[in-house]
Amino acid sequence: MPTSQVLATTAGEFLRTYLTGGKDGAGLERYLSPGVRLAAPVGAGYVRVDVEDVVADTERAGAKDVPADGVRARVAGEDQVGTRWPLVYRLEMITRAGRWEVAALDAGSAPSVSPAPSVSAGAR
Average pLDDT (79-96) is 92
Query: Of 68 and 33, which is predicted with more confidence?
Result: 33
CB 98 within 8 A of CB 40: no
For residue 57, what pLDDT is reported?
67
**In the chain, where the domains are located:** 3-106
When pLDDT is cut at 50, 70 and 90, the band that residue 110 belongs to is very low
pLDDT of residue 48: 92
Q: Which of 24-38, 51-65, 74-88, 107-121 has the largest mean confidence?
A: 74-88
Q: What is the CATH number of domain 3-106?
A: 3.10.450.540
**pLDDT for the residue numbered 117:** 44
25 has a pLDDT exceeding 70:
no
Q: Average pLDDT for residues 21-46, to the nearest whole number?
A: 76
Q: What is the mean pLDDT of residues 60-72?
A: 59
- Provide CB contacts within 8 A for 45, sequence distance 6+: 79, 80, 115
